[in-house]
Amino acid sequence: MNVIDVDDINNQDETINLCTNATPIAFENESWQHQSESDNEDESLRDEDNAYHADDDISSFGVFKEVSPSKHGAVCYTPSSEAYANGLAYGCITSRPCTVCVYLVLLLVILCSFISVFVITFLVAVPYQRAVRFLRTQCVCVDSQYSLAEEHCSCGKGCSSRYPCISVRVNVSTISGSFISTLSNDETLLHKKCTFYPHCRSTDTENKKTVEQYEKAFGETDTIYSCYYNPDNPREIIQTKRFSLNHVAHGLFWTSFLLVTSVSLFCVIFRRRGFEVV
């Protein structure tokens, strides 16, 4: 028949009451049996030493600040309001939903930067490379003419418009002689049907007005202005260079930097979470 010691019950109640308003972290002694006075003294010394080291570890972690020692080896820690808020923030950041959101954002950035690299390469770098060796010269307008059929363009969602297609011929003087060829407004329009493509407006009248302004500036007979020609193919003539080295350098550098950074960050976070990147 087991005999219940009243002192043990009182000591247990006292320990529970002491930890009511605190956060119990560890119980250094799980034995609640009544021991001799000498054993209790040794055990108290061990409890104080363990409580001291536990306080150092937890305080250094930055979560728990206040320590409430209890009897019989029970050590209770009470977090401060700041530490408690930091603990909640840390728990939120390291939670699975937050991690999934971070992965999705990084994947979206990787995808967008990857697409941007290809867009800048084909729409900026390639035209720039095509016109980088073009030499500057003087062009004399021979004549200009409109095609019979008007070109169609899109001015937004559910909006379409038209504009006249103008073709300007110029006489250009090169090292190898003079050539008459069709002018292109810039390097992106080489070998296109029209010399000039206006920004599409919502009405045909506005588009026609823009083309007429271009004709007045570059399409009137005997008008002289600077232009560029390809020394390898003198019949390739452009009125202006649209892209410079700065456009290409900044475009490719920042998109590539964003791509490499996002991929590296994704791999670092993926490994820190305990997974292996395949």
Q: Which amino acid, 271?
A: R
Strand partners, 75: 26, 69
Runs of H (alpha helix) within the chain = 6-18, 37-61, 81-93, 96-120, 126-131, 204-214, 245-272
Report the DSSP beta bridge partners of residue 140: 171, 224
**pLDDT score of 83:** 58
Question: 76-84 — which CB contacts under 8 Å span 24+ positions?
Answer: 76/18, 76/19, 76/22, 76/23, 76/24, 76/25, 77/22, 77/23, 77/24, 77/25, 78/21, 78/22, 78/23, 79/23
Q: Report the pLDDT value the prediction gives residue 155, as an integer from 0 to 100.
A: 83
What pLDDT does 278 receive? 38
User: 27 φ, ψ to 5°?
Assistant: -120, 110
For residue 47, the model assigns a pLDDT of: 53
Q: What does the radius of gyration of the chain's CA atoms come to, in whole angstroms? A: 40
Q: Which residue ranges make up each domain of the chain?
A: 6-91, 94-134+241-278, 135-239
pLDDT of res. 62: 44
State the Cα angle at 168 between 164 and 174, rounded to 5°: 160
**β-strand partners of 152:** 162
Asked whether the CA dihedral 270, 274, 275, 276 is positive or negative, the reply is positive
Q: Name residues whose C-beta falls within 8 Å of residue 101's C-beta, 6 or more positions apart in sequence.
A: none
pLDDT in tens, the chain (278 residues): 444 444 544 554 444 444 444 444 444 444 444 444 455 555 554 555 554 444 444 444 444 444 445 444 544 555 555 655 555 555 655 667 777 787 888 889 999 999 999 999 998 998 898 888 899 999 999 999 998 888 888 888 888 899 999 999 999 988 878 889 999 999 988 888 899 999 888 888 999 999 999 999 999 999 999 999 998 888 899 999 988 889 899 999 999 999 999 898 888 887 776 544 33
Q: How far is 217 from 200, CA to CA, in rounded Å?
A: 19
**Cross-strand partners of 180:** 171
pLDDT of residue 141: 94
